[in-house]
Structure 1
Amino acid sequence: MGKDLTADSFDAAERARYRGKVARCLDALGRMLSDGHFSFPRRHIGLEVELNLVDTKLRPAMSNALVLEALDNPSFTTELSQHNLELNVPPRPLAGDSMPELERDLRGYLGEADEKANDCEVRLAMIGILPTLSTSDFDQKWITNNTRYTLLNDQILAARGEHPSLALDGAPLPGGEPEQLRVVTESILPEAACTSVQLHLQVAPEEFAAHWNAAQCLAGVQVAVGANSPFLLGKALWHETRIPLFLQATDTRPEELKNQGVRPRVWFGERWITSIFDLFEENVRYFPGLLPETDDEDPLETLESGRAPGLGELRLHNGTVWRWNRPVYDVVDGEPHLRVENRVLPAGPTVLDIVANAALFYGAQRALAESERPLWTRMSFHAAEENLYAGARDGFDARLYWPGIGWIAPDELVLRVLLPLAREGLRAAEVSEDAIERYLGVIEARCATRRNGAWWQRKMVSLAESRGADRETALSTMLTRYLDLAQVGDPVHTWPVE
């Protein structure tokens, strides 16, 4: 980054220069969209997985630097906390047998990483929220040794003017009472508890709005069916606790600004769009820069010279507005392109579950995006947002709204509506029939049994407690079994409860 940065590194002049550069980047993007500057040779997909490291007692292992050094693989990188890693799987076309190849490659990467982690006396845990986290793991000293992470923490705390507070009310375990979490932390490290899978899809500019709108429609059912984050700091909370936790951990608003209706930086959005430009423009209009760094590029001059501008400031700003479906501008080998980044899904439980979740999303998204009468013309944006929170809170027990049907359970919605749509969309994308049946078959069986990762975790903890275990022991016992079964690799709906 060129210099040591702290929370007060940016003076008024630097912030004004940054704001001006962001505006020029936005102008350049608008010109590129209107003049047809974007490359779209084929429909590529990409995938990122965030991972936890645990020690022999299944506590967070603050060892990402050691494991990364042992791996020596550029596909792996750091994340906010020292107990996190991120894997970036190389992009590939969606068509043909690309998804089985993705499954094979993902198994290979994770196998290599687990082997190197074992050499460092730790192991990988691919789970939405590590259930053995404690408040001591949120101490600022555990932020990964990277100036940008420290600066982001300092800037969010400075903007908020107070320490982050977590306030969550849970869905009760079977036969139990609702549980509450009320905690004040001294850093944004609770955000690092949220380990996710991020699905990327490259799209043509004229197709972006339809694909983003479709992704928003699907967010609620995605988290309901794929939930895998039911425990935090010893409490049974939402089936997909990542959703409210991420919002609260990175919130720059004190209570007074929340009461005024100021938008959060972890954001579903507030309207259907007609262009990717709408999203970048909203980001610039509503959110001040958290990391107001500038580079030497003039994006308009670069564009006029016939080259693709990097739009560095706009991309940096976009990276500090955490939309659940994020717009992405990128340049590869001198060619600019656009992507939808879907961020609602948790990590795990298994590689097969992850690829099955991806198949459902990519297939249903394409079918909805190409439908003659778009779903979002019959569904309020608020209903799509409420579906996200209902699916995250209650998992398979949620009630979701769907146009033409009304209120419906997630498993029934998938079995009746979304699986046929996903098959249609994947066939339109020329995905092989074997791949379609393999991955959508997993989703079909998961919905038929109503068993996802969150259901299994909650059931195992409840069973252990009914046999006399305290919560800490029950969570540790559950996680031990979870890691063993995840390594075997059978999909979570087949996991035994014993």
Structure 2
Amino acid sequence: MTNPGGTPVERLKDATAIDPADFNARVGEEAGFVHEHVGAGTFDNDQATTGLEYEFYAVDLETDGIRRIPRSLLGSVGFEAELGLHNAELNTAVHPLSGAGIDALGAEVTAKVEAAQRLAANEGIRLVSDGVWTIGPAEGTTVAYLTEATCEEGLTLGINVSNAARYHGFGSFDDHRMIGGTIDVPGASIDADNAGPVSLTTSIQPHYQCRRAADLPTYHGIALRVAGPLLALGVNSPLLPPALYDDPEPDRELLLERGYAEHRIPVYEQMMNPVDGPPKVSFPGDIATPGEAIDRIVDDSVLVPAEIAAAERFDDAFVHFRHKHGSYWRWVRPVFEGATERAANVRIEFRPISGQPTIPDTVAFLAAVCGLLTQLAESAHPAVDLPWSTAKENFYAAARDGLDAELTWITADGDRTTDADRLYADLLSAAAAGLERHGCADAHVTDLLAPLRGRVDRQRTPASWKRDAVAAALDTGASPAEAIERAQRAYIGQQAATLSDGSLLEWPAPRGVESI
């Protein structure tokens, strides 16, 4: 039995002593229980619901450099540890998919974040909602902070990785790398034998709970088709810490044009995909049945096996299946859970979007995801027939170029288009119609989606705002490293003033950031 209370080394030794084949056989047995209950309707529900996972990182109030979060702060206001010691994750309650439900979710996030910020300020830190952090720690180097590890009994433990066996289990064992451990993007690279560099990234993950488990393939397919266009609206990681660039003076073109608009996508894929096996972080294929979604989790490669004592929850009957699901990192991920049989549910976890500048921006993406999954499914929208290969091309083009990417869409009239104005007019109209199906009033829908409509109208994303800030700093004579730092300080400063009730659209154009 894996010892949940031991040291990381003890827990990892327990895990390495478990035969992966035996563990996966147990996962397969438990998957049979899930298959049975999906077929019996146990995972069906009376209404659609929604929820949110929201990741943050902490910075020093004085320097804006990355800072560890005191463990005592986590859990006090609904936050949990994430991979990095500077990370925290907020998981909301489940809310009805309705206007009031979305408002309640937004209010819950706001209340908990504001409470966390007050406690964090007492520790001299601030929580930041973003895609990738770029200002390193006050002491030591950024590269050391991300990669430093200790090796004990053949096990690699990242120094700044949270004290959980599943996180440390992604590191090397007896010189064998469990994950890729390398980031190689235009003009920048890093290599590590542990998962530390993944803690550069933070995200939001809206959840959409299906009413009928049998409809999972439809919602999964729709989520894949809207992933590219929504990602293009949300790109928020065009810059990396200066120390990661191959040239200590990266050129203007690299910072403003050649780099990814959303580095979070290649960073996560390259770091976490195994060297010698099929990818675990990927744009997944369509599924034909709920059973296929279950079987994909069983067939996924094993990273950190475990022996877990089942408790009293309904889903503890498939606790090893759920444990394995924790390292099933597809950009759109089906989830099977439920504390009780009555609460059993299947949902879509939508993972492409970075942390956003403000909470209203975040809620806008959640509303758009929920509205789109509803409307495209219930109206037989032609976009559901967009070829999977085109949806995949859209996704990676959006990661590279944001709103400048050429994306392909099929409108409600059945027209295939690459015109961005037509694409987003149709996409956001569909999102609005889907929310109205759930009882949201017209004016409320307009307010919910306004942050996204405004990004289209003004051709502004968080990534473009940051690049404009870098350009403004370079134009004043700042070095590339100074420009990245000034852009990050400007972002943090604007967010501090608008996080709870503003949006990116209200931020002034980043002129004069040399004074921030």
TM class, shorter-length: 0.7 to 0.9
Corresponding residue number in structure 1 for 2:76: 72
Cα gap change, 1:273 to 1:375, in 2 (>3 Å): farther
- Specify the code of the residue in structure 1 equivalent to 2:32: D
Q: Which moved more, 1:350-359 or 1:126-135?
A: 126-135
Are 2:267 and 1:267 equivalent residues in the alignment? no
Shift of 1:8: 5.0
What secondary structure does 2:92 align onto? Answer: strand
Summarize deviations over 1:186-242 as a string: whole Å, max 9, x none: 321121111000111111202211111100001101110111111112253311111
Q: 2:84 and 2:508 mapped to 1: Cα distance?
A: 32
What secondary structure does 1:328 align onto? Answer: strand
- Aligned mate of 1:245, from 256, 260, 267: 267
Are 2:408 and 1:408 equivalent residues in the alignment? no
Are 2:184 and 1:167 equivalent residues in the alignment? yes
Task: Count residues in correspondence.
Answer: 467
- Aligned mate of 2:114, from 105, 111, 124: 111
Shift of 1:374: 5.3
- Aligned mate of 1:277, from 291, 309, 315: 291
What secondary structure does 2:392 align onto? Answer: helix
Unaligned regions of 5+ residues in structure 2, if any? 137-141, 149-157, 246-254, 512-516
Cα gap change, 1:137 to 1:406, in 2 (>3 Å): farther
Q: How does 1:86-105 map to 2 (within 5 A)?
A: 86-105=89-108
Q: 2:308 and 2:116 mapped to 1: Cα distance?
A: 35
Cα gap change, 1:13 to 1:81, in 2 (>3 Å): closer
Q: 1:453 and 1:397 mapped to 2: Cα distance?
A: 13
- Aligned mate of 1:470, from 471, 479, 495: 479
What secondary structure does 2:236 align onto? Answer: coil
- Specify the code of the residue in structure 2 equivalent to 1:474: A
Summarize deviations over 1:395-446 as a string: whole Å, max 9, x none: 010001123444525454112x111111111111112333201022221111
Cα gap change, 1:412 to 1:194, in 2 (>3 Å): farther
Instruction: Give TM-score, length-normalised by structure 2.
Output: 0.85
Cα gap change, 1:11 to 1:40, in 2 (>3 Å): same
Shift of 1:153: 2.9
- Aligned mate of 1:320, from 327, 340, 348: 327
Contact 1:45-1:199 at 8 Å conserved across structures: yes
Contact 1:54-1:60 at 8 Å conserved across structures: yes
Shift of 1:117: 0.8
Cα gap change, 1:13 to 1:6, in 2 (>3 Å): closer
Q: 1:112 and 1:209 mapped to 2: Cα distance?
A: 39
Are 2:436 and 1:424 equivalent residues in the alignment? no
- Specify the code of the residue in structure 1 equivalent to 2:117: D
Unaligned regions of 5+ residues in structure 1, if any? 170-179
- Aligned mate of 1:448, from 440, 448, 457: 457
What secondary structure does 1:311 align onto? Answer: helix
Are 2:192 and 1:185 equivalent residues in the alignment? yes
Q: Which moved more, 1:14-23 or 1:123-132?
A: 14-23
Are 2:448 and 1:439 equivalent residues in the alignment? yes
Summarize deviations over 1:16-49 as a string: whole Å, max 9, x none: 3312211111111111122222241321110111
Contact 2:172-2:178 at 8 Å conserved across structures: no
Q: How does 1:26-425 map to 2 (within 5 A)?
A: 26-55=31-60, 56-68=62-74, 72-73=76-77, 75-133=78-136, 134-138=142-146, 139=148, 140-154=158-172, 158-160=176-178, 164-169=181-186, 180-203=187-210, 204-234=212-242, 236=255, 237-253=259-275, 257=276, 262-270=277-285, 272-285=286-299, 287-296=300-309, 310-335=317-342, 336-372=344-380, 375-376=383-384, 378-403=385-410, 404-410=414-420, 412-415=422-425, 417-425=426-434
Shift of 1:109: 1.3
- Specify the code of the residue in structure 1 equivalent to 2:88: L
Q: 2:197 and 2:441 mapped to 1: Cα distance?
A: 40
Q: 1:452 and 1:166 mapped to 2: Cα distance?
A: 24
Q: 1:310 and 1:6 mapped to 2: Cα distance?
A: 22
Q: Which moved more, 1:418-427 or 1:100-109?
A: 100-109
What secondary structure does 1:52 align onto? Answer: strand
Shift of 1:340: 0.6
Corresponding residue number in structure 1 for 2:468: 459
Q: 1:141 and 1:167 mapped to 2: Cα distance?
A: 22
Q: 2:37 and 2:177 mapped to 1: Cα distance?
A: 33
Contact 2:95-2:104 at 8 Å conserved across structures: no
Q: 2:496 and 2:317 mapped to 1: Cα distance?
A: 40
Contact 1:66-1:120 at 8 Å conserved across structures: no
Q: Which moved more, 1:190-199 or 1:427-436?
A: 427-436
Q: 2:46 and 2:174 mapped to 1: Cα distance?
A: 39
Contact 1:131-1:231 at 8 Å conserved across structures: yes
Summarize deviations over 1:96-120 as a string: whole Å, max 9, x none: 3222232222222111111111100
Shift of 1:122: 1.0
- Specify the code of the residue in structure 1 equivalent to 2:345: H
Summarize deviations over 1:45-93 as a string: whole Å, max 9, x none: 101110010112111102242432xx623x2000111111111121210
Shift of 1:474: 1.7
Corresponding residue number in structure 2 for 1:172: none
Corresponding residue number in structure 2 for 1:175: none
Contact 2:59-2:65 at 8 Å conserved across structures: yes
Cα gap change, 1:296 to 1:147, in 2 (>3 Å): closer
What secondary structure does 2:169 align onto? Answer: helix
- Specify the code of the residue in structure 2 equivalent to 1:265: K
Contact 2:315-2:337 at 8 Å conserved across structures: no
What secondary structure does 2:293 align onto? Answer: helix
Cα gap change, 1:156 to 1:231, in 2 (>3 Å): farther
Instruction: Give TM-score, length-normalised by structure 1.
Output: 0.88
- Specify the code of the residue in structure 2 equivalent to 1:132: I
Cα gap change, 1:160 to 1:308, in 2 (>3 Å): closer
Cα gap change, 1:107 to 1:9, in 2 (>3 Å): same
